[in-house]
Structure 1
Amino acid sequence: MQSTQHQNLVGFIWNIANKLRGPYRPPQYRRVMLPLIVLRRFDLVLAENKQKVLEEKKRLEEKGITGPALDKALSRIASEGRKQELFNTSGFTFKKLLDDAPNIAGNLIAYIHGFSPRARDIFDKFEFETEIAKLDEANRLFLIIKEFCSAEIDLSPKTISNLQMGYLFEELVRKFNEQANEEAGDHFTPREVIRLMVQLLFTGEEDVFKPGVYRSVYDPTAGTGGMLSESEKYMAEKNPDAHIELFGQEYNPEAYAICCSDLLIKDEPIDNLIYGDTLGIKDAKNKTNGFVPHDGHPDKKFHYMLANPPFGVEWKPEEDFVRDEYKDQGFSGRFGAGLPRINDGSLLFLQHMISKMHQPPRWVDGKNVGGDGSKIAIVFNGSPLFTGDAGSGESNIRRWIIENDLLDAVVALPDQMFYNTGIYTYIWIVTNKKPKHRQGKVQLIDGTRHFKKMDKSLGNKRNELSDGHIKELVRLYAEHEHDAESEVLVEGRPERRICSKVFENREFGFLKITVERPLRLNFQASAERIERLSAQSAFANLASSKKRKDDAAYRAEVAAGEKTQAALKAVLEGMNGETLYRNRSEFEAVLDAALKKAGIKIGAPVRKAILAALSERDPEADICLDAKGKPEPDPDLRDTEIVALPDGIALPLPLGYDNETGHDQLLALVRDHCEDYLKAEVLPHVPDAWIDHGKTKVGYEIPLTRHFYVYQPPRPLEVIAAEISQLEKEIVGMLREVTA
């Protein structure tokens, strides 16, 4: 389809949409226009053989043929050369609908019910019958149907091929979704971001351009299908002989309907697009017609995968299902590396995609005896880069991905790129088939200044990527150079900045060590400290009872406890309240002697309460020792330090390595590395500190912003002073105007 014709059709359809103003706001136009565009295209595709279909239906039903056999027979007659099932048995067409204006709403519904099952399902997911009723009530239904029958909007296959119609539909989806940016933003990724993802995904993939090659593409959060269609388009342009199969899953019914419409319009398989929640739900009652309650492609592996999962959306609805899979299946399931916090399920989608990878290539004598391997491009917000402390779910997921050499690159995008959020976003490239020069490394690319301002903002989207920006970012990724520069705009001026850095996997890991300081206490049986004893729970519980309060046994037990409390206080008051003990053992000996003399025996909790009440921290006191004669740590002085992983450490580290046996060499390396850090960085300041190696944890984060930080020196003082002076003059001038 020529560009002028394409734009004319888009413009004409847009003008039709404007006739909805009143009953609908512009962001709601898509609810009517998208299903009607699909319906009109199907109407014209089936027009030529409509009567033949009706006659064949009657003939076959008289022979007792129904169900799938009837559907296949009718589909063969309905449209010659189509691969996907599509027919209509209602007897209506758009023109016949106009001939019976008073009954147009009911007839239109009957027309939709006459479609083949998958086509009918599309209109069900659009919930189009609700819109038909609304249009009819507002006296707009006949007008809109009539407009679609205009000669200026010829959507017939004789005028527009399936592929051209697909491009037209995608363009209209984009325009309508941009109008509805706040509502549809979760399911619609800006097209230039998708193009960047697709080009990054296929960079370095030589095999995909071989004639006749088969490759599968998967999107677990398919939305309106933009990533699938853009991948197919890119590969078709580069390798027309390739056989591409698309797979996806989507839980939003409208987005699912749009994606199915696009595929069916282009006569491409829609059975591979599954309706349902990819992560899974536990409650079978949530299952609705056609809804799959978990992974819709449980046994499939894919060559290429793309996704834009929801940013910062909690996975509470799927929690039971996900936790059960994590607990029961571990690494045999999808979530073996760990579970993120409940308020952001982004990393669950990435783990799900990794579980769909083909086995990596394995070369023996020049032959691949392994698999094809897979490559993933996924969009995240900043949270998956660094959220979560060492040992947390997020950190463990990053650790597993990086230590297994799956993370290839992270590309930082500009802010204000998406319709429903202005935050910075990041494309992760994950693969299990890195070429040799990329193995053991992760590339970080700063693309935050590669953008141009839009002429008109769309919701939160004010920036966009030009073809030149996409080309430059792809170049940086392909060349894989450390400290590679690129020309960017800084405060409106072109400037060369380092935009690519390459790091070893190890450099993203760290050890979180616990540094302890000894507990030093003094003790004194002063009146003030004895008074604190009443606030100690173990002491207060002496005068409590679990028996019924109105029971004599309760009163007796409480009275006995109060007597014990009084006796203990009397013993403490009888001790020398002026003496200050700076050695816990010495004080305990004096306390034990006093209790023995009074004939009072106490349990460990009460003893601990007495010591807590009568003690205060004292840097001059002796170190308190535990039962084994080792220094006891002071919780108030406990601190943590972040230590980089040692050079030369072998990855992956075993999970929970510090509690495992059989890793003596690794433990010794980590221990010695931490001790060296302690001697160099801690002991010069606090010489009595030590490391509790049993608490050491491994963490991983990707501090992309830190690596590309550029120091901006403060402005000269005389410039700031001049600005302040000027502001003072302006304020004085305004005050004079007010008082004049």
Structure 2
Amino acid sequence: MTITQQELESRLWDAANALRGPVDPADFKTYVFPMLFWKWISDTWVYEHDMALEEYGDDLDDEIEADYHRFEMLEGTLWSETTTKVKNLGAEIASTFQRIEKANPRSLAGVFGDVAWGNKERIPESALLDLIKAFNKIKLDPTTVSHDLLGAGYEYLLKNFADESGKKAGEFFTPREVVNLLVGILEPQPAESVYDPACGSGGMLVATINQLRDANLDHRTLRLYGQEINLTTSSIARMNLFLHEIEDFEIKRGDTLRAPAFKDARGALRTFDSVIANPPFSLANWGADRWATDPRARYGVPPAKNGDFAFIQHMIASMTPDSGRVGVVMPHGTLVRMGTESSIRQKLIEADLLEAVIGLPPNLFYSTDIPTCILIFRANKSAFRAGKVLFIDGSARFEKAVNRNSMTAADVDALVDTYRSGTKSADVDRINVRLVPIDEIASRDFDLRLGHYITVAAEESADLGSTLTAYADSRIRRIAAEADMFRRLQAAGIDLSAIEVSDD
């Protein structure tokens, strides 16, 4: 008997709540997702076994049965076999996960993460038993829960865990309205490749699949790739994609800026049709010391204390040279900061790679309340947009909430339609748009502040870190200019003793 989405979500949340008290809500995802994934592959294996037995009866052998299963489950690794153990249950679960991963080295190696299941200080056995009892109430085989339903349930948990985690949620979860906006703009097509270099829990990649499904296009030909530095989060991403019935994907764990994981046979970066990401904002200690000779730094080496333009340049280097496009979420500081970043910004604009700057509503994200935007880059712009940059202010399109604002589906659709048309529609309100020639941007020293080019509903402001960085850059330039001036005056024989010089 199938269950409804509401019933599934209720039962999944009951399972998570079984940990409440002894386990910090920010850690719920660490324990719940591996257990959910194990329960799903176990229940599915039993269902497939029963199907094979019904068809072949006594003639069923291991070779025939193997064709029925997506994953191999060794004897003793099924949910019903391990969860009934009465001694050292956490250690038994850890051992079971290791056996499952070893039995499926190509698909499941490392998928369960590195949780210390036997550490009773982190997860008491009583909490583990309560979690198991809650999952025992949920049957997860295909006759009860479809892939679409299960995928929606997984997304429901991710959203709830993000709400519980507060600012920590920014490490693994991007608000789905922002994800849908990015995917709607980039429009991945069947047979294309999509890459997220900071993939978190895999939401951007899942959304590309959902968009093609909703448009009745063949999503099975999409090829999905992602890299994530956090082991637990990369495991969550892999489970997410499996549960959404996605098979052609690669999620690799590692530091994208220091050690990009996707390279071709010659050791060069692999390229993809769509590159999409919400990377960590203004990342310090990102590995600038290695970028002096890095081919990704074609437009300049970003400052060591801020990796925003490192992610941008990595993504641009990762898009196909003919039809590639990039969509990235960034703080407004990337639009205005001076120094090295200003130089990089200028070169990207002069290369005619920047297609659009889209101002987002305030307070959308869990991890920050600073102003944010979406930057769109294209390897080849249309003839109409060549030599120009599209500025869109969407900062007024949101629903106000207590902890975090949100965008409705209508808000997202309005921004996507505005981006595609490049003009303001008469039936769309609270959005301003203008296609600006690069010459005009150059006249403003390549400052991309939206308010320079269009009317902005929400007040623009750079984050404090960006403001301090801009101040420091300006101060250094002023001191250098003064020093050069005094050298020239001294060389001209002018007496400088009466001139007071300040280094403040």
Common fold: TM-score over 0.5: yes
1:380-406 deviation per Cα after TM superposition (whole angstroms, max 9, x unaligned): 001110101xxx321222122211211
Give the corresponding residue for 2:382. Answer: 435
Cα distance in 2 for residues equivalent to 1:359 and 1:76: 46
Give the corresponding residue for 1:465. Answer: 407
1:523-545 deviation per Cα after TM superposition (whole angstroms, max 9, x unaligned): xxxxxxxxxxxxxxxxxxxxxxx
Q: Are positions 1:397 and 2:339 aligned together?
A: no
Retained in 2: the 8 A contact 1:90–1:114?
no
From 477, 497, 506, the counterpart of 2:439:
506
Deviation at 1:227, TM superposition (A): 0.5
Q: Are positions 1:10 and 2:46 aligned together?
A: no
Give the corresponding residue for 2:260. Answer: 294
1:45-95 deviation per Cα after TM superposition (whole angstroms, max 9, x unaligned): 222467999xxxxxxxxxxxxxxxxxxx9898456263xxx2222513222
Give the corresponding residue for 1:532. Answer: none
Counterpart code for 1:301: T
1:138–1:214 distance in 2 versus 1, CA, 3 Å: closer
**Normalised TM-score (structure 1):** 0.56
Retained in 2: the 8 A contact 1:34–1:173?
no
Cα distance in 1 for residues equivalent to 2:242 and 2:296: 31
RMSD: 2.9
Q: Are positions 1:374 and 2:324 aligned together?
A: yes
Give the corresponding residue for 1:228. Answer: 205
Retained in 1: the 8 A contact 2:222–2:248?
no
Deviation at 1:98, TM superposition (A): 4.1
Helix, strand or coil at the partner of 2:6? helix
Aligned length: 441
Cα distance in 1 for residues equivalent to 2:457 and 2:122: 59
Aligned pairs (5 A) from 1:239-258: 239-241=216-218, 243-258=221-236
Q: Are positions 1:141 and 2:128 aligned together?
A: yes
1:466–1:182 distance in 2 versus 1, CA, 3 Å: same
Retained in 2: the 8 A contact 1:46–1:88?
yes
Aligned pairs (5 A) from 1:415-564: 415-454=362-401, 456-457=402-403, 462-481=404-423, 486-488=428-430, 499-510=432-443
Retained in 1: the 8 A contact 2:354–2:376?
yes
Counterpart code for 2:435: V
Give the corresponding residue for 1:336. Answer: 298
Helix, strand or coil at the partner of 2:400? strand
Cα distance in 2 for residues equivalent to 1:499 and 1:259: 36
Counterpart code for 1:137: P
Helix, strand or coil at the partner of 2:242? helix
1:98–1:278 distance in 2 versus 1, CA, 3 Å: closer
1:52–1:111 distance in 2 versus 1, CA, 3 Å: farther
Counterpart code for 2:400: K
Helix, strand or coil at the partner of 1:157? coil
Deviation at 1:190, TM superposition (A): 0.2
Deviation at 1:485, TM superposition (A): 8.8
Give the corresponding residue for 2:56. Answer: none
Give the corresponding residue for 1:367. Answer: none
Retained in 1: the 8 A contact 2:391–2:434?
yes
Deviation at 1:230, TM superposition (A): 0.3
Aligned pairs (5 A) from 1:618-697: none
Cα distance in 2 for residues equivalent to 1:482 and 1:404: 27
**Normalised TM-score (structure 2):** 0.80
Counterpart code for 2:210: K
Cα distance in 2 for residues equivalent to 1:423 and 1:348: 20
Q: Are positions 1:357 and 2:319 aligned together?
A: yes
Cα distance in 1 for residues equivalent to 2:30 and 2:64: 31
Deviation at 1:259, TM superposition (A): 0.5
Deviation at 1:175, TM superposition (A): 1.6
From 285, 292, 308, the counterpart of 2:278:
308
Helix, strand or coil at the partner of 1:176? helix
Retained in 1: the 8 A contact 2:192–2:223?
yes
Retained in 2: the 8 A contact 1:453–1:463?
yes
Deviation at 1:305, TM superposition (A): 1.3
Cα distance in 2 for residues equivalent to 1:48 and 1:485: 52
Helix, strand or coil at the partner of 1:320? helix
Give the corresponding residue for 2:333. Answer: 383
Cα distance in 1 for residues equivalent to 2:376 and 2:206: 19
Aligned pairs (5 A) from 1:265-280: 265-269=243-247, 272-280=250-258
Counterpart code for 1:296: F
Q: What are the ranges of 5 or more consecutive residues in structure 1 without an aligned counterpart?
A: 54-72, 281-292, 326-332, 361-372, 489-497, 511-643, 645-698, 713-740
Q: Are positions 1:97 and 2:66 aligned together?
A: no
Aligned pairs (5 A) from 1:696-711: 699-709=445-455
Helix, strand or coil at the partner of 1:199? helix
Counterpart code for 1:324: T
Kindly name which structure, 1 or 2, has the bigger radius of gyration based on alpha carbons: 1
Higher percent of residues as strand: 1
Percent identity of paired positions between Structure 1 and Structure 2 = 28
Helix, strand or coil at the partner of 2:345? helix
From 156, 160, 171, the counterpart of 2:145:
160
1:327-353 deviation per Cα after TM superposition (whole angstroms, max 9, x unaligned): xxxxxx211100222221111111111
Give the corresponding residue for 1:625. Answer: none
Looking at both structures, which has the greater relative contact order when contacts are Cα pairs under 8 Å and sequence separation is at least 6?
2
Deviation at 1:147, TM superposition (A): 2.1
Retained in 2: the 8 A contact 1:49–1:78?
no
Helix, strand or coil at the partner of 2:111? helix
1:77–1:335 distance in 2 versus 1, CA, 3 Å: farther
Counterpart code for 1:140: A
